[in-house]
Amino acid sequence: MTDSRPIRIVVVDDHDVVRHGLRVFIRTFADMEFVGEANNGLNAIQVCLETNPDLVLMDIFMPQMDGIEAIKRIKQDNPYIKILALTSSRAEETVVGALKAGATGYILKNASFEEMDRAIRDVMMGRRSLSPEAASALIQATTRPPEEHFDLTPRELEVLALLVTGVNNGEIAERLFVSVSTVKYHIGNLFTKIGATNRVEALKIAMEHHLIK
């Protein structure tokens, strides 16, 4: 955070031991504040209404209401709340579902304290934070053949697959062994073809039209 106010965090998980561990983790940081918890998605919505947190650490598989539906509802109530999905699932449909619902990040429960800390701060800065497994799942989902009317080239699909994971143009250029200007050229063509004006729109359109399933 750029100001002196701590990051106010709500923890949502149906396992007591996980919630306890996350409370302990949060309280080790002077610039983080634990403000509430819930053991299912339905309760999470109410807790967020009552506490108005900056960030929610959200489990996915829970009784009464799962995390993906809870993310949708929380973001509808308050689009400014950041949500970091924290789960054990590496499944493509879970990763894509959480991001499509409105999560900014997706990490696994076996993440280290350092990885968790970095993910929280990245999400609070508006940067997408994905565990390597989640990024891999998203790339696999993205590289499925697109709908015919978009007529994306193989290279544009490669750029899209990397772009939706949150990497910048320089990193895309390094991974594809091309120049940054070439990456910008492909992104321009890609955005024109799918009708996007920025990366957030590109991700949304890609998922809605099954560029990402």
User: pLDDT tens for residues 181-202?
Assistant: 999 999 998 898 888 888 888 8
Q: Which of 95, 129, 163 is the last residue of a domain?
A: 129
CB burial class (10 A; 0-12, 13-18, 19+) of residue 113?
exposed
Whether 109 and 189 map to the same domain: the answer is: no
Contact 110, 81 (CB under 8 A): no
- pTM confidence score: 0.68
Strand partners, 34: 9
Does residue 137 fall inside a structural domain?
no
Q: What is the largest CA-CA distance in the chain?
A: 52
Please state, as a whole number, how many other Cβ atoms lie within 10 Å of the Cβ of residue 17.
8
Contact 205, 194 (CB under 8 A): yes
Q: Which of 107, 129, 151 is the last residue of a domain?
A: 129
Does residue 135 fall inside a structural domain?
no
Please give the DSSP secondary-structure letter assigned to residue 147.
Answer: P
Phi, psi of 179 (to 5 degrees): -80, 160
Q: What is the pLDDT of residues 64-111, one digit of tens each?
A: 899 999 999 999 999 999 999 999 888 888 898 899 899 999 999 999
Contact 34, 9 (CB under 8 A): yes
d(CA 194, CA 158) in angstroms, rounded, equals: 15
Average pLDDT over residues 151-164: 85
Asked if residue 139 has pLDDT above 80, the reply is no
Whether 20 and 111 map to the same domain: the answer is: yes
- Give the structural domain span for 180: 143-208
Whether 118 and 168 map to the same domain: the answer is: no
